[in-house]
Structure 1
Amino acid sequence: MQASSPFKEQIIEMKIKTLIVDDEPFAIEVIEGYLANFPEISVTATCANAIQAFQLLQKSKVDLMFLDVKMPGLSGTELLRSLKNPPKVIFTTAFQDYAVEGFDLNAVDYLLKPIPFDRFLKAMDKVFDQFKLQQSIIHQSDPVLSGRSSESYLYLRVDRKMMKVNVNDIYWIESLKDYIKVVLKEKVLISKQKIRLLDDLLPESQFVRIHRSFIVSLDKVESYHSYSVEINGKELPIGRYYKAACQRRFFSPTT
């Protein structure tokens, strides 16, 4: 009999499609057994190595991935860096030395094997918090009377209230650990959430992640270099893991 979810009070209006990637069959069994306690989770596939996972992710979208770090061939961290639009990730490994690298890649959590169930519950709490927050940040479109295309809005929690923000007014977004700073033309907003969530929600055609701590609006960029961009007189760094993506967005030849 399936146990009821310890997080049933948190309303998750979707099934969280989940992928487990590990070269140890027993490790996959343990995680599947733990996840059976959460009706919000749907394990759509398991993979024995990162290459299989990469191929699957080219065809299918998943929301959450449990990813072993050390695997033959391609490591879990190498897989994550290779993905253009990665899902939320919880790293699993027997090696504590990889923890810093895992968090540097914006992982939701990092679990050391053998994974105790109480520690697993804490990781799932973080997962549900992020999905719950994602659902609270609502995209909506308002028709513009001038006949231009509709404008997109985000609702951000600022000072205990939801504030409507036109995405066209955003200059850049900066990560401040558990908070983000949203820089607009006339003001700056501080909201308690992770920059990763905004990276998932903002239109890819209008925004680009240039650094683990910065997302910028493409049409607000005044100048750019291989190591930085300038917006409104402010120089923002391009991180080494984001240089390739920035090269494609900023340095593509004009037609």
Structure 2
Amino acid sequence: MKINCLIIDDEQAAIDILTSYVSSIPSLNLVATSLNPLEALEIVHSQKIDLVFIDIHMPELSGLSFIKLVKTKCKFILTTAYKQYAIEGFDNNAVDYLIKPIAFERFLQALQKVQIPATPTIPVNEGNQTSTKSDNFIFVKTDNRIQRINLADILFIEGLGNYVTIHTEKGKYITLLNVKDLEESLPSEQFTRVHRSYIISLSKIEFIEGNHIYLDKDLNIPLGDTYKNQLWAILDGKTITGKRSFF
């Protein structure tokens, strides 16, 4: 049986992200999206809605006020950039609380709390591109927008305190995240931590010399002692020649 969903957010970029995620789950049926919570109230009362993804901060009506008006008609998953409203959200019977930018893996965890089968199919992305797997891109908040970044475009990620710079073939993006959080959101078969401040894309390595990983002859990333064994273990299965004397 399909679970009827509604997405409510006053930012179209945030709606687009969740629409992509919902479309990749066979058990979910997206009934509608709305930029206006007052308009969304009519949708909830006129149609069968089982699950609502709703932003907390909206000008016409807050997500928490919306939940109080609808009461127990459907289940709610809150979305926001502000962690401090989590307790209030759960006090209003929200099932889960997603912090923007929302990672696809975290979205799947929220569905499990609603007891929805969360096996993704191949989602269709913007333009004419079709993804080959559900985790071939991420979204991050940068400047005043939510930016989609294809994993295949990432060269390396550089951390500085609570910020990271994601260096890609198309440019670089700065976002409020730390290296550890981003590392946990990336597929380990494609990316690995090589320094306390750096994550690299394994497919972009040209060569390793001493304590430096070269992505090309003019771009190199330091290799920290703590992360050497982890990198050697990954490369061991891909090394065709015999002894690794340079290791």
TM-score norm. by structure 1 comes to: 0.44
From the CA coordinates, give the structure whose radius of gyration is larger.
2
